[in-house]
Amino acid sequence: MIELKKRLLNNIDIKLLALAMAIILWFYISSEYNISAERYYDIEIRAINLNDNLSIKDIRDKVSIGIEGPQNILENLSSQKIIGTIDLKNIEDPGEYQIEADVIIPKNTNITKIIPNNIMVEVENILERESPVEYNLIGLPERGYSLEGEPEITPSEVTIVGPDSLLKQIEHVKIDLDISSIKDDFKSEETVFVYNKNNEEIKNLKVNPEQVFVSIRVGEGYPEKILPIKPRIIGKPAPEYYISKIEANPSYIRVYGNYSKIGNLNFLETIPIDVNGISKTLTVKIPPIISEGVYLIDEQETLIEIQIQVEEKEEERLFENIIIQKREASPFLSYKLDPEKADIRISGKYNDMKNITEDDIKVFVNLSDIEMKRVKVEAELPPGINLIQLIPEEVDISIKK
């Protein structure tokens, strides 16, 4: 007992000091844990339970959240540890919705504010469409060889499934075919890609099937093709003229070349022909534009004669309230016309029409038959001017003796 007492009292001052420090440390830790604080975190919101037939088109995927709790907990809390969701299980139709956010936070903490509390989400239908598969040829066969026809693609159409807004962006559905240095028939399986009008790949679409089978026939020599000539016109004729006819002689040219070069050619364009300000027929001899890998078959004209015909523009004009003249009228009678004026619409070549005035137009009725109660309205026009319409076509006649 004495021995135990000695051990307890040995270094008593150090032991008392350690006990005091432990008590102080316990109080410090306890007070730190109980200090309340508030912090704000920017967290991501995740949508859950969305109907399989719908897709999210737009969503506000982040909110700011205020959390109140012990300071030591908040100091160790990061945005990544806070889970925020919106439940879309009750949404069955496309449209815009406001959904209250559900946020899971650590124990012993409280949510003071969510900004915004209601999350805007827009959903759309998931649809499908059938699209033909195009191809893009890369490279050239070995010299002296060419494709004997278009690649055969099986299936030639694929089904594309995805959000309505993405389906509307589809411009091309195609495969890339590398035919570099080939000289034998070959078959391959190629992945189908979907592109928009800017030739950018559209992601998040399901293509069925994802791959298609391709068969290519290769032979020696080059295929031929007969292509029409398409003159390229730049500029405009004189203001009062228009192009009425364009003729090319010859109008077709035979070419040959690798199928990858001529397969998609539908015409040959000429170098530009400037028609700016012309007022009469223009005839020129110019070459067609031949792209690399396309060749003219021998014994053909290398220059194309292009004839561009122009004509004066036709114009229409309306003259109103022209006095109707009385012709072949008896000097012993008094005539009254109803109405006494007419409107007349005429047409003609630009140069013939530009100086026409009311004085050049004669509108009249023939009153040689005094028994008539209604008479036809007629017109006298300058040479080259055509009558389109007279209003009225007939007038009533009242006669006083």
Number of C-beta neighbours around residue 5 at 10 A: 9
Q: What is the pLDDT of residue 1?
A: 53
Round to whole Å and give the CA distance between 306 and 273.
9
Above 70 in pLDDT, residue 5? no
Q: How confident is the model at residue 320 (pLDDT cuts 50, 70, 90)?
A: very high
Round to whole Å and give the CA distance between 381 and 360.
7
Q: How confident is the model at residue 11 (pLDDT cuts 50, 70, 90)?
A: low
Rg (CA), the chain: 45
- Residue 18 or 204, more confident: 204
Q: How confident is the model at residue 222 (pLDDT cuts 50, 70, 90)?
A: confident
Above 60 in pLDDT, residue 30? no
Structure tokens at 262: 């001529």
- Residue 398 or 247, more confident: 247
> Each residue of 231-260: pLDDT tens digit?
999 999 998 888 999 999 999 999 888 877
Residues 6+ apart with CB under 8 A from 306: 231, 246, 247, 248, 249, 270, 273, 283, 284, 285, 286
Concatenate the DSSP letters of all residues of 115-159 into one string. Answer: ESSEEEEEEEEEEEEEEEPEEEEES-PSTTEEESSPPEEESSEEE
Q: Are 126 and 162 in contact (CB under 8 A)?
A: yes
Round to whole Å and give the CA distance between 103 and 108.
14
How does 42-66 read in b/e, with b if 16+ C-beta sit within 10 Å? ebebebeebeeebbebebeeebebe
Q: What is the pLDDT of residue 198?
A: 93
Among 8, 113, 97, residue whose Cα is nearest residue 50: 97
Among 206, 205, 207, 204, residue whose Cα is nearest residue 190: 207
Which residue in the block uniquely carries the two structure tokens 């109980």? 34
Q: Name the phi and psi angles at 396, rounded to 5.
A: -85, 150
Round to whole Å and give the CA distance between 212 and 192.
7
Q: Are 216 and 147 in contact (CB under 8 A)?
A: yes
Q: What is the pLDDT of residue 75?
A: 82
Proportion of the chain above pLDDT 90, given as a percent: 44
Residues 6+ apart with CB under 8 A from 226: 252, 253, 254, 255
- What is the mean pLDDT of the segment spanning 331-347? 88
Above 90 in pLDDT, residue 224? no
Mean pLDDT of the residues in the chain:
87
Round to whole Å and give the CA distance between 185 and 214.
11
- What is the mean pLDDT of the segment spanning 80-91? 89
Proportion of the chain above pLDDT 70, given as a percent: 91
Q: What is the pLDDT of residue 16?
A: 62
Count Cα neighbours of 391 within 13 Å in the Cβ-side half-sphere. Answer: 10
Cβ-based burial of 369 (10 A; exposed 0-12, middle 13-18, buried ≥19): exposed
- What is the mean pLDDT of the segment spanning 328-332? 82
- What is the mean pLDDT of the segment spanning 212-224? 89
Q: Which of 71-75, 205-209, 356-360 has the lowest mean pLDDT?
A: 71-75
Q: What share of the chain is helix, strand, coil (3-state, %, to 5)?
A: 15, 55, 35
Residues 6+ apart with CB under 8 A from 266: 227, 228
Round to whole Å and give the CA distance between 246 and 260.
31
> Each residue of 125-162: pLDDT tens digit?
999 999 999 999 888 888 788 888 889 999 999 999 99
> Each residue of 37-77: pLDDT tens digit?
888 888 888 999 999 899 989 888 888 998 888 888 888 88
- Residue 32 or 277, more confident: 277
Question: Which pTM value belongs to this model?
Answer: 0.54
Q: How confident is the model at residue 14 (pLDDT cuts 50, 70, 90)?
A: low
